[in-house]
């Protein structure tokens, strides 16, 4: 499978639940596929008008293709993901969570030391002691050369989705 086919496959998975943007510039970085999911929910007491509380959940998936992924490219893209928490996440009293998933696709062999960095990567930011929710950055590396998917610690549940 090549990069274009894999991007089309992801787009089909995303289209039912996410708003999809192709070839979008986000914070100065050209991203091949951006998917955004937004949900607002709340708890009620007896009737629909008796609202106890409300909360919102955001999920962003940013998919980018690379010729090769080495340590510096990986670290730069992870730093970019951390910067996105400042730009995309707007914490307030009804904000529960925002998850940013960075998907890096390459059709060249991934290096062992890059996979070690991936295994150690974990980023979560809390806003006002959870009262304004939290944000999290997850990283998924897709190796099209070996048809394998590698995930960061907090993204283990996503492995099946991207396989």
> What pLDDT digit, counting tens, does each position of 19-60 carry?
999 999 999 999 999 999 999 888 888 888 787 888 899 999
Asked if residue 56 is part of any domain, the answer here is: no
Q: For residue 143, what are the domain limits? A: 3-44+66-162
Asked if residue 147 is part of any domain, the answer here is: yes
Whole-model pTM above 0.85? yes
The structural domain count of the chain equals 1
Asked if residue 33 is part of any domain, the answer here is: yes
> What pLDDT digit, counting tens, does each position of 10-21 carry?
999 999 999 999
What's the number of CA atoms in the CB half-sphere (13 Å) around residue 13?
15
**Tokens linked to 153:** 């610690």
């Amino acid at each position: 499978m090549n990069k274009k086919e894999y991007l089309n496959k992801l787009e089909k998975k995303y289209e039912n639940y996410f708003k999809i943007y192709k070839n979008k510039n986000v914070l100065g970085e050209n991203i091949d596929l951006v998917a955004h999911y937004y949900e607002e929910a709340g708890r009620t007491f007896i009737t629909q008008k008796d609202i106890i509380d409300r909360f919102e959940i955001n999920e962003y998936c940013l998919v980018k293709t690379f010729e090769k992924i080495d340590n510096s490219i990986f670290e730069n893209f992870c730093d970019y993901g951390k910067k996105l928490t400042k730009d995309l996440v707007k914490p307030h009293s009804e904000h529960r969570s925002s998850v940013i998933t960075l998907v890096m696709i390459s059709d060249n062999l991934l290096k062992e030391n890059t996979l070690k960095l991936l295994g150690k990567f974990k980023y979560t930011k809390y806003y006002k002691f959870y009262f304004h929710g939290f944000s999290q950055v997850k990283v998924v590396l897709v190796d099209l050369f070996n048809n394998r998917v590698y995930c960061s610690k907090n993204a283990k549940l996503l492995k099946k989705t991207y396989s």
